Structure 1
Amino acid sequence: MTKQLIRAGLALLAMASFSAWAHYPVMDCSREGEKIACQVGFSDGTLAQGQEVVIYSYDDEELARSAADGSSVARFNWPKGEFYIQFDAGHEDPAEFDYVEF
């Protein structure tokens, strides 16, 4: 009986660790005229509706902020100067997109 309990406990522990694996944030941005559209989500394919996406200057000054819509897209006006876009979902490594990548 004890071996069965240990096996059951190990099986539950293994299943819990699989569900606890973190899915990192992903982002792909495109230029649409004088606008920017950034599709955001997670590496497991889930969307990031309502999540904040921020544009920063190279001096780390916040230039714009937008929440992803129901299609998991955040939209911005094209800012002046050099900038990068960040989707930080609270993990160690946020997703970033630099303006030179357009």
Structure 2
Amino acid sequence: MHSLSLPLGLFEVFMTIKSSTFAASLLCFGTFSTAAYAHFPLMSCWFEGDKVLCEAGYSDGSTAVEYNVDMFDYDDNLIAKGMTDKRSIAEFTKPDTDFYLVFDAGHENPVEVDVVEIKEK
């Protein structure tokens, strides 16, 4: 069996290179692995009497405070604009027409909830 013997100075250089390579690898892993943990927007809506309430948030459990939630009729006309409060809830008066709600958090896919999906809570 052969053993590798390096002069002390060369050994320190070798270990420094290995350490910095390891640190760089960890940094890259940490930077690029966050994409795997990306979160996406969610919204659930319900009726309470003559009101429509929608709670917006993200798949990682974080809240969506002070985000716009818009209400459209089926002809894509804006009926009402709402904003989430400190509880991540937007509140609307229930319209007399069919509608859908949109939470666009600036991600690629905004969340849409159609009136047929909404139930009384």
After TM superposition, the score normalised by the length of structure 2 is 0.77
Residues 2-36 of structure 1: CA deviation (Å, up to 9, x unaligned):
23222211211221234454311000100011101
Shift of 1:38: 0.4
Partner of 2:69: 53
Shift of 1:95: 1.3
Partner of 1:4: 19
Higher relative contact order (CA 8 A, sep 6+): 1
Give the root-mean-square deviation of aligned CA atoms.
1.4
Give structure 2 stretches of 5+ with no counterpart. 1-15
CA distance in 1, matches of 2:67, 2:32: 25
Count of residue correspondences? 102
Matched, 1:22 2:38: yes
CA distance in 1, matches of 2:40, 2:103: 10
Identity between Structure 1 and Structure 2 (%): 40
After TM superposition, the score normalised by the length of structure 1 is 0.91
**Which structure features the higher share of helix residues?**
2
**Which structure features the higher share of strand residues?**
1
Partner of 2:84: 68
Matched, 1:86 2:102: yes
Tell me whether 4-13 or 82-91 shows the greater mean CA deviation. 4-13
Whose radius of gyration is greater, 1 or 2? Answer: 2
Give structure 1 stretches of 5+ with no counterpart. none
Partner of 1:39: 55
